[in-house]
Each structure stands twice: as C-alpha cells, then as structure tokens.
Structure 1
Amino acid sequence: MTDAQKDLVRGTVPILKEHGVTLTKYFYSRMFTHHPELRNVFNMGNQQNAKQQTALAMAVLAYAEHIENPSVLLPVLDAIGQKHTSLSIRPEHYRIVGKHLIASIQEVLGDLASEELIAAWTVAYGQLAELMANHEGQIYQKLADTEGGWTGWRPFAVKRKTAESDEITSFYLYPVDGGKIADFRPGQFISVRIFIPQLNLFQPRQYSISCAPNGDYYRISVKREFGAELNLNGMVSNRLHDFINTGDIIDVSAPAGNFVLAASENPVVFISGGVGQTPLVSMMEELIASGSDRPKAWIHGCRNRRVHAFHDALAKWKTEANFEGHIFYDAVDTDADPEFVRNGWVDLQRVDTANFAPNSEYYICGPASFITKNYNDLIAAGVDRSFIFFEEFGPQTIQLN
C-alpha cells in the first residue's frame, strides 16, 4: 500500500466518525439482498438492534486510524476472530464482504468517492481481510490439532435440561458421535445453531460455557426473554426454552473466546450482572475443583432471589475458605442474610474493597452499561487497567482499555 493510498484512507476518518453506521447499515442491506443465504450465518438479532452495524463501523474506523500500523489492533482483531471461527466464517466470506463494502463506500459517498479513494480502500480492505483470514486460519488449525477438537458445526444432544431460576435454564450438551470434546478455558463460549421457523432461517447464537472443563459435556445457561415485542435474539433463547428438550439435537461450534481466567495466583474478584454470571461460574467452578488457594470474591446483581441462577452454589461457596460474596437485589426477601444480600444495584462503594489485594484481578460481565460503570468505578478506586478484564455479550461496542 502506497503512502498516498494510506493518506486517502486516513482522510476518510472524519466521514467514518460521522456517518460510519449509516455506511455499514447500507452495506449489510446490500450484501443480504445479493446473498440472502448469509442470513443463516449472521445473527439477525444484532442486525435488528444495530449492534452489528455499530461494531463494524467502529472496526472500520479503527483500521483507518491505524492504517500505518494495523498490528496494534491485534487484541481487538483476535476477539473478532474468535467469534468468526465460532460461526464458521471462512476466507470466501471475506471476498463477499469486500465486494459489497467497497461498492457501499462508492455508492454512499457518491461524487466524493474518487477512483483513487476506491482503489485505496480496495487495497486497505484486502490487507485487513488477509490479516483476519490468516489469524483465523491459525485458530482453525489449532482446533483441528486439539484432541477432541473440530471446526464448523458438530451435532450435540441435550441430555439434561435444568431450571436454574425463574428465567435461566441450563442445557447439558453431549456429542452425538460419542467422541471426545475439545477442552476449553473457563470463560470461553460456544455457538449453537437452531432453525427458527418464524424466520425460515438457521440462526447462530453464542453462549458462555457455564461449567468447569470436564471432558464429557458443555453446559450453557440461557436466559428466557420476556416482553410483548421480542427482538430476534430473544426468539432464539426462548426457542431453546420452549422447544428444545432432552434428546433433541443442535449444532455446536468448538469453544472460543479470549475472556478467560488468567493463569496466575493473584486474587480474583468477579463482578456480574444478571446472566453475565455464566462465564464467571465456569471460572469459579474450575478454581473450586482445582483446589486453588487464590482468594476469591464475587459481587453480583439481579432483580431478586427468584431470578438469581446458581444462588445455592454461591451460598455454598461462601462457606469455603478464601471466598467473599456480595449480592445486590432490587428487592430483598425479608429472611435474606444482611451480610450477604443487599438492596439496590451493584455499587462498589458499598463493598469494603479494602479487603481486596492490590494485585487482585477483576472479571466483569453483564450489560454494556453495567460493565462501563463498574470498570470506571474500579479505575476511580485506583485499580490498574491491566488487572481489569471484561466480556461484552454480542458484537464489541465498548471501548475502555
């Protein structure tokens, strides 16, 4: 890529900042019009709520801003690559995306899209696609080389379905072929794919694995969505609740994700909101099962005891050595332990964080606003950014680190 072409790409940064989402919305509409089969690959719920368009706009903007040295984006690109491989995104998909993204830039910018600018972005996208495809190829190769590993989709049977609360149900998934399954790191997710009759589409969704590695099965714990007008994400979760039962078979991808429990001996503090507890349950179960002496604390918030999944496990862990629990409910039962359960939203200022060691690692998972608030509260309390890890469900739209 020439210096002149890099200058042209950088010159589009102001336009991308102002009109990036407009461009990506146009792009997705264009691509799905020409390739309707890709609706089976992409999460249409994230198309409906514009999270995917926003995430792509942010990624394109970041690439344009760092066109001189795109390698600085590798941590972000790895997170995207982990999700792409879990959805079986392949190099041929990048060719389709590139064709329609470049066409969209040309059509949306109109007279501002000179031949030189289009040529520059064509080269820029080609480099980005090659970077991503090569990185994802390494992930696929690692999965193929892993005992019990696989790429693409593999049929799994639901052998157990357990209600964890009024809203959250766990599904225990075993491989239909009876073979081994890939090990995983606590905090990772799998994708599941089911057919949605209302859409006449297969739809993939990613769910955190909510158990410690065991060599036999994966457990996902799925929240039922309520409301008169459910979005498309809720349709998938609710279909799992209402129509997927013991003995049914669903497609599953191999474990992926880089929100994982660090291999250290530092104390850990888990901070979760609602169903955001699921990857943290996996981490905690692994710490307990391994007999880890690492000091452990959990700060969790949800509406009430009835919707709090894994409450009994958390109460049991409270009796373990080196564990400290703090639960926040919108409505607290009268018989709740006041030293364990508090009224209101999660507020770190109401937790005696003086008990937490300076080298504690903080793992946050929950809604975007929940993550942002608690991340900023930790920074304000003097916690080093390098000790804070977070997972945003769905496309990445939070930029904190």
Structure 2
Amino acid sequence: MLSPRSTEVVRATLPVVGGAIGTITDVFYKRLFAAHPELLRDLFNRGNQAAGTQRQALAGSIAAFATALVEHPDVRPDAMLSRIAHKHASLGVLPEQYPIVHEHLFAAIAEVLGDAVTEEVAATWTEVYWLMANALIEIERRLYAEQGAVSGDTWRPWVVAERVEETEATATFRLRPADGAEVAPFRAGQYVSARVPLADGARQIRQYSLTDAPGARERTITVKRDEGDPAGEVSNRLHDTVRAGDTLELSAPYGDLVLDDADGPVLLASAGIGCTPIVAMLKQLVDDGHQAPVISVHGDRTHAAHALRDERARLLGKLADGTGLTWYEAPEQPWPADRTGRVDLSGVALPDGLRAYLCGPLPFMRAVRAQLLDAGVPASAIHYEVFGPDLWLASV
C-alpha cells in the first residue's frame, strides 16, 4: 500500500484535504462537466448532481479510503471498493475514464488549496488516487468478465413483456431478452441499470433492484415514481411512457448486498421502495427451503403505498418460520398502536446468530442498525443497500 513516508504525508495533510473535500469535489465536477458534457448527459445522474448527493458520496469515499490507508496501512478497504466497483460496472465505467477523473480532480485540489499543495503533497495524493483507481479498475474488470461484458459493454435490449400497477406510485416491469437468449442467473439483492433516452436527447442511467428469484427466466423491476426536487427523470419517464412491447436497455446484474448461503436466522428490514431487494431475498429463501426463522420488518407511509405487500405476505407464508411485521406512519384502517409510526424493534424477539439485511432511506437504516447493535447483533452481521449515492460513508 502506501510507503511509510507517503503515509506520514497523508496523515499530516488529511485534515486539510478532508476539511476542503466538499469544495474540492464541487470544483471537480464543474471542471469535469465543462470539459466533458457528455458525461453529465449520459453517465452521471443529473438528479444527484442537482441535489449535491453525488458530491457528498465522492467526498466521503475519498476521505474514507485515505483514512483507511493511514489507520490500517496493510489492509485494503475491499468492502468499500467492492460497493463502488459494482456501481461502476452497472454504469459501464471504463479504465480510460480514470485518467480523466484524475486530471480534473487534481486541478480542483490545486485550485482550492493553492500553495498548500507542494510537489510532495501532490505526488502523495496522486499515489492515493491511483491506489484506489487501480483497485477499482481490477475489481471492475473481474465483474465484467464474470458477466461476459467485454470492455464494459454491459448493455442489452430487453422487451417489456408485462407492466403491472402495484400502487398509485409504483409499477412492475417484467422483461425478456429481445434476442431470445438465455437469462443469466443473479444473486438475491442485486440490481440492474436501465439506460433510458429522455426528451432532451440524454440517455440517463438508474439502478433498480431485481425482484425475481435468482433463477428466473426474465428480469423484473418495480419502479417508484419520484416527485421529489428534483423529480426522478428516469423513474418518471418509465412510468409515463413505457408499456408492454417497448424495449429497454439493461445492464447485467451487479451489487454486493447479496443473501449469503448460511442456514441461520435472517432479519430483512426495509422501508418504502427498499422492499424490492427484500422480495428477491424472500424468494431465494423459499426456493432454498430455509428452515431457520426469517423476520421481515417493513415501514411505509400508508397501507395503500406499500408496494409488493401481498407478494411479501405470500412468500413469508411459504417459509417454515416466517414472520412479517409492518409499521405505517399514517394507517388508513384500524392498526395496532405499537406498529404505527416508525419501525421499532424494541419489542421484537431477535434470535441468536441473526444476519440482518437493510434497505431503505439512510435515516431508516441508521435507526434500525442502532437498534440491532443495542440488541447485541454484531456490526459484521448487519448489511445494507443504499439506493443512489452511498451517503453512509459521507456521514461517518
């Protein structure tokens, strides 16, 4: 990893770089998109750029990687790198794009920090960048090879075989390969990217969890309409324009939040549209004949807004020991008082040896993780998935 001298330079300059990293990433993206507008049009999520969340995620990952190099110089932070690499692979990121990022990132560092960036400091942080970049390139190369996506060519046309309206704001799309080819298996919890042409000519990319069982002969995604600020360009486009018979470009499946093969008890915690990877995990557990307890907890705004509600109940009923608990913030019918509001695990009996999988908004996952830790569940047994930029790193 880093040489002893470089480690000392990073340790000495990390407070300065870390303190300015938000400004640095802001300048970086402005420079990058001015030089390469096609990257904002066709690769980077314009909604996340407008909201600033991508900047936060980039800043958090750089700071976390540099901190790991200093605090644990002999250990590469593979868990963090794997998460980033899976997302990059789903976007079709290529090795030749890393020098472009380096050019504009280090120009931004020099612009923001000025004379503090000596030759030694610049050389050391260049070493940090390429340690991270080369590790990602290698992981991404392996991911592409596993999926048969030569040189990042991960995109394939899929035909919408069926569209199902789940709720007023969510729709399920079942897709089959346009060329009739065999459908490769995936791991429960993984996602695909959809590359969607928009009215202004851009082709924006978004990730959607797969909700089928891993051996399914089709791809199924459930998409929630996004009326936020900014509104979801791609999700809303799918809702407004895509019907049975239309074609979508999908990536191969990626994602490192996957259900492992252990036989012990499982907790699946979700909120809102975070239910989608959980449904795939339930299907996998059913197909595997899982005998240990499975506890599914879910939080949502209302009964009517709860997507895939009946499917979840059906799958839990097929398990040898399945329990479903739901909390609604605004119940539309008589509902237990102790399950009105936010998910609260204080009254839930958690078996020993539990493995937990979390998916939903970041505040929800933070709260559930804290409750699990308080209940004695080891941090190593708690896994999570964030839709969009991973702000968990930016917040710790």
Q: Taking structure 2 as the reference length, what is the TM-score of the superposition? A: 0.92
Cα separation, 1, equivalents of 2:286 and 2:65: 41
2:351 matches 1:352:
no
CA RMSD after TM alignment: 2.2
Instruction: Give yes or no for contact 2:283–2:315 (8 Å, CA) kept in 1.
Output: no
Tell me which residue corresponds to 1:153. Answer: 155
Deviation by residue 1:162-221 (Cα, 9 ceiling, x = unmatched): 1112221111121111111221010001111101224x3111001111121234111111
TM-score, normalization: structure 1? 0.91
**Equivalence for 1:392:** 386
User: Amino acid of the residue matched to residue 23 of structure 2?
Assistant: T
The CA deviation at 1:145 is: 8.7
Matched AA of 1:144: G
Determine the structure 2 residue equivalent to 1:144. Answer: 148
Which residue of 106, 109, 116 maps to 1:105? 109
The offset of 1:325, in angstroms, is 1.2
The corresponding residue for 1:330 is 329
8 A contact 2:282–2:315 mirrored in 1: no
Aligned partners of 1:181 and 1:216 also within 8 Å: yes
Deviation readout 1:331-385 (Å, 9 max, x if unpaired): 224356x59x932221112x332xx311121111110000001100111111111
Output the CA distance in 2 between the equivalents of 1:52 and 1:306.
31
2:160 corresponds to which letter in structure 1? V
Query: Aligned-pair distance for 1:66?
Result: 3.1
- Which residue of structure 2 lines up, in the alignment, with residue 24 of structure 1? 25
Q: Return the letter of the residue paired with 2:294.
A: K
Match of 1:307, SS state, is: coil
- Does the C-alpha gap of structure 1 residues 295 and 92 become closer, same or farther in structure 2, counting only changes over 3 Å? same
Equivalent in the alignment of 2:295: 297
Distance in 1, Cα, partners of 2:317 & 2:197: 43
Q: Provide, for residues 64-109 of structure 1, a one-character-per-residue CA deviation record: whole Å limited to 9, x for no partner.
A: 2233537431110011001101101010110110111111111111
Instruction: Give, in angstroms, the shift of residue 2 of structure 1.
Output: 4.8
Relative to structure 1, the CA distance from residue 70 to residue 83 in structure 2 (aligned partners, 3 Å threshold; closer, same or farther) is farther
In the aligned structure 1, how far is the partner of 2:92 from the partner of 2:17?
28
Deviation digits for residues 291-350 of structure 1 (CA, Å, limit 9, x no counterpart): 3223211111111111111222233345444111111112224356x59x932221112x
1:300–1:327 Cα contact (<8 Å) kept:
yes
8 Å contact kept, 1:180–1:215: no
* 2:234 maps to which of 229, 236, 256: 236
Aligned residue runs from structure 1 range 201-240, under 5 A: 201-226=202-227, 230-231=229-230, 234-240=232-238
Q: Secondary structure at the match of 2:258?
A: coil
Question: What pairs with 1:67-106 in structure 2 (closer than 5 Å)?
Answer: 67=69, 69=73, 71-106=75-110
| 1:52 and 2:71 aligned | no
Counterparts in 2 of 1:30 and 1:364: CA distance versus 1, 3 Å: same
Task: Count residues in correspondence.
Answer: 389
Q: Deviations over 1:246-295 (max 9, x none)?
A: 11111111000110111110111111111011000000012123332232
Moved over 4 A (4+): none
CA distance in 1, matches of 2:149, 2:51: 37
Q: Is the 8 A contact 1:328 1:344 kept in 2?
A: yes
SS of match in other structure, 1:211: coil
Equivalent residue number for residue 375 of structure 2: 381
Unpaired runs of 5+ in structure 1? none
Q: Which residue of 1 aligns with 2:340?
A: 343
Shift of 1:223: 0.6
Q: Give the stretch that moved more between structures: 235-244 or 207-216.
A: 207-216
Identical-residue share of aligned pairs (%): 37
1:42 has 2:54 as partner: no
Q: Tell me the distance in 2 between the aligned counterparts of 1:27 and 1:280.
A: 36
Measure, in 2, the Cα distance between the counterparts of 1:81 and 1:123.
19
